Structure 1
């Protein structure tokens, strides 16, 4: 189970409880969208968030508050999750919204079923488009533009080209709940891989990998890390030749450019 950065202690235990409750939800697509909305409301209403995470308030009373605030706006599955969330103990007040948003991403990915791999690839491609265009990156981060405007831009870019779940996550990435759009998209890619029971490896090469080479690399990484690995391949001319793999906090660098740099340092020394 992927745990969002900063979630620890009681909040991590609450996440585990809520994750178990979310498993098998039949209406996962709806639940995902609704959880994003609930998280946004909690972030915009600090008084509500404080009450929901106040250990001095009885769990039953907080569950009742959840029903009162959200009962007419979300479905039964989402409401049960929110009621459970309000009843949990939290390490920090902000963790409540962060965990509900994370579960929204999990539900959204789960709703794609066998297309979860395609969703991961589409998120990676969109992240690459954002990183490769300063104009797009600035437009999506521009707080002088309304959220609806920025999300509309995302939808226009992706509609007809990506899964509805991909579009929803891409729209969520511009809400500001993560430090940057890049960070949000990276987080959602990890959720997509986790739902599939896979790790994520970023592979940098000078030219596109042949299918057979990609399969061999994935198999080798699967053996090394003990679980299937989803490859995100980046074609980078600076690599020159060879391959660089980033998986988690580890980097396997077998590129020609790195070997040349190392040789230059040895000569200079």
Structure 2
């Protein structure tokens, strides 16, 4: 999501991320609370155009913007979140929507921090739930049905993940139901990228005909790390249509070493 910000907005997000990390460092409970507060404010800003325009208006003195935040949100969010919000509204934003999007981004980072040394498991669980939504039409329909309330959908998520996933995973899936992304699947994919970025990792989707044993995953991850210059988190998708070999998608790059890919390439050359 950070790549979606430009100019002053990108600078603001980078600064605020550093402030967030300092604010919640060493306290998973505080990180989780701040995450919920920031996401709630992001939702409010998207629904309140007048408030959104005022707190992002560069012609209004930063002190006035901060004063309004204190007046509207004081006592309604944690002190840590309020400090971050005061900092956020004092900064310049390229587009009015950037502030709300930045707060959603920061809320994801805070939940990743709350997971501590289980952040990699968090990324895996986000991917696995996204795959479940993709492969289960009834679940996908239930989570996207406009006739169902957000509370009802959140309860469904809780029922599915209770005792099976990290609290941070459940919180992020519930956030995905009401965030800025058009579908739950898109939101979860973006949230996983944020989780990886918070750990200074890339994300690679690996398609194989059969699941990879752990030693092969480790070897592939090592090869990608050497190629891209940073650790890479693997999302492994078992897809029998690839027949054999491995297809890796990382960012805009595609490394196709599958049998089906080679057959398709040969077919194109014959046709051409």
Could you say whether these structures have the same fold, taking a TM-score greater than 0.5 normalized by the shorter chain as the test? yes
Which SS does the other structure have where 2:2 is aligned?
Answer: coil
Whether contact under 8 Å (1:4, 1:99) holds in the other structure is: no
Distance (Å, rounded) in 1 between the aligned partners of 2:204 and 2:139: 25
1:129 paired residue number: 132
Q: Shift in Å at residue 254 of structure 1?
A: 0.5
Equivalent of 1:14, from 7, 12, 15? 12
Residues of 1 paired with 2:16 and 2:268: CA distance? Answer: 52
Of 57-66 and 138-147, more deviation after overlay is shown by 138-147
1:57 match: 60
Which residue number corresponds to residue 210 of structure 1?
213
- Is 2:199 aligned against 1:196? yes
**Aligned to 1:251, which of 241, 247, 254?**
254
Q: Work out which of the residue numbers 242, 246, 266 in structure 1 matches 2:245.
A: 242
Kept in 2: contact 1:34–1:74 (CA 8 A) = yes
* Partner residue in 2 for 1:47: 50
- Aligned length in residues: 267
Asked whether 1:260 is paired with 2:263, we answer yes
TM, length-normalised to structure 2: 0.95
Q: 1:4 to 1:155 in 2, by over 3 A?
A: farther
TM-score by length of 1: 0.96
**In 2: Cα distance, 1:176 partner to 1:32 partner:** 13
- What is the 5 A alignment of 1:1-269? 3-5=2-4, 7-24=5-22, 25=24, 26=27, 27-269=30-272
Structure 1: where are the runs of 5+ without partners?
none
2:232 and 2:60 mapped to 1: Cα distance? 44
1:161 match: secondary structure = coil
What is the CA–CA distance in structure 2 between the aligned matches of 1:55 and 1:221, rounded to whole Å? 43
Q: Deviations over 1:78-100 (max 9, x none)?
A: 00001111111111111110000
CA contact (8 A) 2:43 2:179 kept: no
1:94-139 deviation per Cα after TM superposition (whole angstroms, max 9, x unaligned): 1110000100000011111100000000001000001101121121
Measured in 2, the distance between the counterparts of 1:66 and 1:100 equals 14
Over aligned residue pairs, what C-alpha RMSD do you find?
Answer: 1.1
Note the alpha carbon deviations across 1:3-30, whole angstroms, 9 max, x for none.
052x112211211221121113132111
Secondary structure (helix, strand or coil) at the match of 1:200 reads strand
Output the CA distance in 2 between the equivalents of 1:76 and 1:125: 34
Question: Is the contact between residue 124 and residue 232 of structure 1 (CA under 8 Å) also seen in structure 2?
Answer: yes
Distance 2:208 2:91 in 1: 46
Q: Which runs of 5+ in 2 are unaligned?
A: none
